[in-house]
Structure 1
Amino acid sequence: MEDERHGSRRRRRGVLWAVVAVVAVALGCLLPAALVAAVVRQTAGRSTGDPASGPGGPAARLAAAIDAQLGRQAGALLRGDRDGFLAVAEPAARVDLGRRFTALRALRIAVWRAESSGQPTPTPGRPGQWRQVVTYRYCLVVPTCTPSPVLAATRWRETSDGPRLVAVEPSASAETGTRPWEVSELVAAVGRRTVVATTPDLRTRLPGLLAEAEAAATVADGYVVDGVPPDRYRIFYAGRAEWRRWYGGGRPAWTGGYVVTVGGGHHEVVLNADALRTGGVADLLRHELTHAASLPAGGWSDRHAWWLVEGTAELAGAGGRPVRRYAGLDDVRRLVAGGGWDGRLDTLAPGADAPADRVAASYGVGYLAVRYLVDRYGGQRLLDFFAAVVHDRRPVADAAREVYGEPWPELHDDCVARVRAAVAG
């Protein structure tokens, strides 16, 4: 146990292992910037009465033919018919599509629907080719899930036998970024509560990751706020190149893991393999899966409640250890002693360029504050408070009075006093 504690401290001094990066991804927010011009052209064509875009016009007939091809491809994917999935595409597109097929089948694709958005538009400089915006909706493992949407641009070539798929562009939306199955080869393992995926070169990690994920899911299920646990926790283990690419990359240097909201009420977790070489996977999984269990379906972005969201996940990540064995206590002690914090929980969130020790201390303060609430009032009231502040977006003063029966200024000061007492001496 002593080695585990010291190892965790080394990780926190180098690369902090947890960050929540969730955003609201209603369908309208999923539009990649590269597709805006195409959608505008489609709308403009319809509004000016362009006969080519009207009912029965060439674009409308092509759109119907493309929908038919997308339907055939979806059916083939769900049947596991690789040849049928590739049959709608040009030979040059089949390597990319074959990789997508293999990745989605590894993830146990259970629902796959493709819906055209608007009508196709001619591709500039490519005679006979058309661009069609498509919304893909998918479920992993569980066919009764609410599907997650992905909006992407597809390109098609007209032939005497109907439209042929030339390419599917990755969905590079600013809000969510590119999904792993769009750009990487994947292998996966599926358990009772989780699905864990990585690249083939890291496949030897899958059995251990799955076992740790299943154990973490049991803990995370205890932090479900709205009464509906995730149908499966979705976890992606990223090597160095994938970490920079999946979901847009660009995370702060101290990040070892994050969760991103992908629509349909689903959150997907990404772990940084490089940051976890010395261990800590179990703690990180408990933390991130607790985010997936507790956060609103549409995401969350209020920095004023950062301490509550991260402190709750840290409580789960600590795995029931006593406060004295929390790995970030030294960082909290330095922050409190050095005057680098103004003593307010609502200003605790670190900036993206904050040094690792300041970030670790912020997580530690959040943990100690939440731990105080649980020790004093119990876990259920914490979940009720979380629901009021994070899900219902109630003012924290109203939520404190309703859930705890206390004025928030006094309760806040009690939390801060607990933080200071925990690191005194």
Structure 2
Amino acid sequence: MPRRRWPLWAALVAVVLVLTCGLPAALLTVALRHGYLGTSVTPDPSASPTENATTVAAREVAERITAQLDRQAAALLGGDRAGFLSIAAGSVHSDLRRRYAGLRALRVTRWEGRPSGLPMPAGRAGEWRLMIEFRYCFVVPDCQTSPMLVDTRWRDGAQPRLLALAKSKSSPYVNGRMSGQPGNLPWEVSELVVAVGKRTIVAATPAFRARLPSLLKRAEAAAKVADQYVVGQPAPDRYRVFYAGTKEWKRWYGGDQAEWSGGYAVNVGGGHHEIVLGPESLDYGAGLDELLRHELAHAASLPENDYWDNSAWWLIEGLADHAGADGAPAGRYAGLAQTRKLVKGDWDGKLDNLLPADDAPDDQVAGAYGIAYLAVRYLIDRFGEERVLAFVKAVVHDLRVPAQTAEEIFDESWSTLHRECVAHIRSTVR
């Protein structure tokens, strides 16, 4: 979504990244059967007769590491920073202190780490590399956990020692499956200050501490609007909002955003979409409220698994822009001039190919968003929000094309409805 230059146009962006959700990695979950026995390998009665000694040894290392991860989780949830650090070598403590502070500030309520697969020898005798899947919740104890996979290195012993902990990386694949994760979560790489409300969590770096109370108030107001656009799932337990300074904008969640992006919603798994506000957004005035309503509506309406097709971009963004407008007349839409220019210029009259290129000029992006907004606004004015949300569920969540579902929801063929919708858009901007 574009970065609007207020008062001309407000930043409204939704770049949705794919994250592993509802597709947990194959986890090794085993009980710690016995302590470390030097370099000897004790026969494992549960092991397959065909398992070799190396596999048995790796399995036992994984058990000992699991016990350390359990100790660390208990320390984190119990507010014991020394215990959280104690499983790691001193070289890792600085990184762990930052993570601990960020997670505690975000009010972590669940935290668990489990090996994803078996460890592999790391080169030096007694050292192992192991992918760990962490799962976590903020504020709400019984939330659906968000997952993340990170690479770790350990020195084995009766109580293995963590030697290195990587940061999460952007990847379209997790454990070979077509489900990805974003890179560098804010609490992995930045010091955070946090404020928590009834419906939202807002966070920023310490440089913006003084602006956090105002941001929380505005996010809470936006959440009341966004809650009206929940599609096919419970409302978010808390909307998670992170304000990014210039440095953080280039680093958080991989940092690879479209040039016109002023904010975005990113899927972090477990049914959670986190909102990132761009570096200039706190100075948008009333535009910040519109931006928050837009992005929080994404968190409420997007599916747990972001497999929607680009042809549905107009519906996703149009709905979020409708939430952002919050009932204002279409004639007051901030990007109407750019919409008029695109409609009278290069637009081919099709809704399913509106998605702007990452390097598209600002006025073209604003025009595409305007067309999407007017299309959804037309459908809502004609059929009501309930039926349009059912249409979003069918097209975006269930991956049905409009031609398959328009008649059952709107009692009209999609070809006819599309033609009428486009005619209405052209009439509105003429």
What TM-score does the superposition give when structure 2 sets the normalisation length? 0.88
Distance of aligned partners of 1:23 and 1:30 in 2 relative to their CA distance in 1, 3 Å threshold: farther
Instruction: Quote how far apart the aligned CAs of 1:264 are.
Output: 1.1
Instruction: Quote how far apart the aligned CAs of 1:268 are.
Output: 1.0
In the other structure, the counterpart of 1:18 is 13
One-letter code aligned to 1:327: A
Instruction: Quote how far apart the aligned CAs of 1:316 are.
Output: 0.4
Partner Cα distance (2:112, 2:192) in 1: 21
After superposition, what is the alpha-carbon deviation per residue over 1:55-96, rounded to whole angstroms, capped at 9, x for unaligned? xx3x22222111111000000000111111111111111110
In the other structure, the counterpart of 1:379 is 385
In the other structure, the counterpart of 2:246 is 240
Whether the 8 Å contact between 2:16 and 2:306 is mirrored in structure 1 is no
Instruction: Quote how far apart the aligned CAs of 1:118 are.
Output: 2.0
In the other structure, the counterpart of 2:90 is 91
In the other structure, the counterpart of 1:146 is 144
Distance of aligned partners of 1:396 and 1:27 in 2 relative to their CA distance in 1, 3 Å threshold: closer
Distance of aligned partners of 1:300 and 1:314 in 2 relative to their CA distance in 1, 3 Å threshold: farther
What TM-score does the superposition give when structure 1 sets the normalisation length? 0.89
Distance of aligned partners of 1:128 and 1:11 in 2 relative to their CA distance in 1, 3 Å threshold: farther
Whether the 8 Å contact between 2:144 and 2:270 is mirrored in structure 1 is yes
Partner Cα distance (1:255, 1:48) in 2: 54
Whether the 8 Å contact between 1:30 and 1:173 is mirrored in structure 2 is no
- Is the partner of 1:344 in helix, strand or coil? coil
One-letter code aligned to 1:115: R
Q: Does 1:133 align with 2:166?
A: no
2:262 maps to which of 243, 256, 265: 256
Instruction: Quote how far apart the aligned CAs of 1:227 are.
Output: 4.8
In the other structure, the counterpart of 2:156 is 158
- Is the partner of 1:119 in helix, strand or coil? coil
- Is the partner of 1:345 in helix, strand or coil? coil
- Is the partner of 1:170 in helix, strand or coil? coil
One-letter code aligned to 1:324: G
One-letter code aligned to 1:99: R
After superposition, what is the alpha-carbon deviation per residue over 1:197-232, rounded to whole angstroms, capped at 9, x for unaligned? 111111112111111111111000000112510111
Instruction: Quote how far apart the aligned CAs of 1:20 are.
Output: 3.0
Whether the 8 Å contact between 1:156 and 1:167 is mirrored in structure 2 is yes
Q: Does 1:305 align with 2:312?
A: yes
Instruction: Quote how far apart the aligned CAs of 1:275 are.
Output: 4.5
Partner Cα distance (2:156, 2:5) in 1: 59
Q: Does 1:211 align with 2:209?
A: no
After superposition, what is the alpha-carbon deviation per residue over 1:3-43, rounded to whole angstroms, capped at 9, x for unaligned? xxx9634345xxx4312323252476989xxxxxxxxxxxx
Whether the 8 Å contact between 2:25 and 2:133 is mirrored in structure 1 is no
Partner Cα distance (1:92, 1:79) in 2: 23
1:180 maps to which of 162, 179, 186: 186
Whether the 8 Å contact between 2:375 and 2:421 is mirrored in structure 1 is yes
Whether the 8 Å contact between 1:20 and 1:291 is mirrored in structure 2 is no
The 5 A counterparts of 1:13-412 are 16-26=11-21, 49-54=51-56, 57=57, 59-124=58-123, 126-159=124-157, 162-174=159-171, 175=180, 176-279=182-285, 280-338=287-345, 340-412=346-418
One-letter code aligned to 1:314: D
Whether the 8 Å contact between 1:258 and 1:269 is mirrored in structure 2 is yes
Distance of aligned partners of 1:30 and 1:364 in 2 relative to their CA distance in 1, 3 Å threshold: farther
Whether the 8 Å contact between 2:318 and 2:374 is mirrored in structure 1 is yes
- Is the partner of 2:251 in helix, strand or coil? helix
Higher share of residues assigned helix: 1
In the other structure, the counterpart of 1:40 is none
Partner Cα distance (2:333, 2:113) in 1: 47
Whether the 8 Å contact between 2:308 and 2:399 is mirrored in structure 1 is no
Aligned residue pairs: how many?
Answer: 396
Partner Cα distance (2:127, 2:206) in 1: 35
What percent identity do the matched residue pairs reach? 53
One-letter code aligned to 2:296: L
Partner Cα distance (2:350, 2:7) in 1: 25
- Is the partner of 2:266 in helix, strand or coil? strand
Partner Cα distance (1:109, 1:116) in 2: 21
Instruction: Quote how far apart the aligned CAs of 1:345 are.
Output: 0.5
The 5 A counterparts of 1:406-421 are 406-421=412-427
- Is the partner of 1:254 in helix, strand or coil? coil
- Per mean C-alpha deviation after superposition, the further-off stretch among 99-108 and 406-415 is 406-415
Instruction: Quote how far apart the aligned CAs of 1:357 are.
Output: 0.7
After superposition, what is the alpha-carbon deviation per residue over 1:365-410, rounded to whole angstroms, capped at 9, x for unaligned? 0000111111111111111111111111122012110111011111
Instruction: Quote how far apart the aligned CAs of 1:315 are.
Output: 0.2
Distance of aligned partners of 1:47 and 1:109 in 2 relative to their CA distance in 1, 3 Å threshold: farther
Distance of aligned partners of 1:30 and 1:278 in 2 relative to their CA distance in 1, 3 Å threshold: farther
- Is the partner of 1:118 in helix, strand or coil? coil
- Is the partner of 1:88 in helix, strand or coil? coil
Partner Cα distance (1:327, 1:104) in 2: 38
One-letter code aligned to 2:168: S
Partner Cα distance (1:410, 1:278) in 2: 39
Distance of aligned partners of 1:24 and 1:185 in 2 relative to their CA distance in 1, 3 Å threshold: closer
Distance of aligned partners of 1:29 and 1:242 in 2 relative to their CA distance in 1, 3 Å threshold: farther
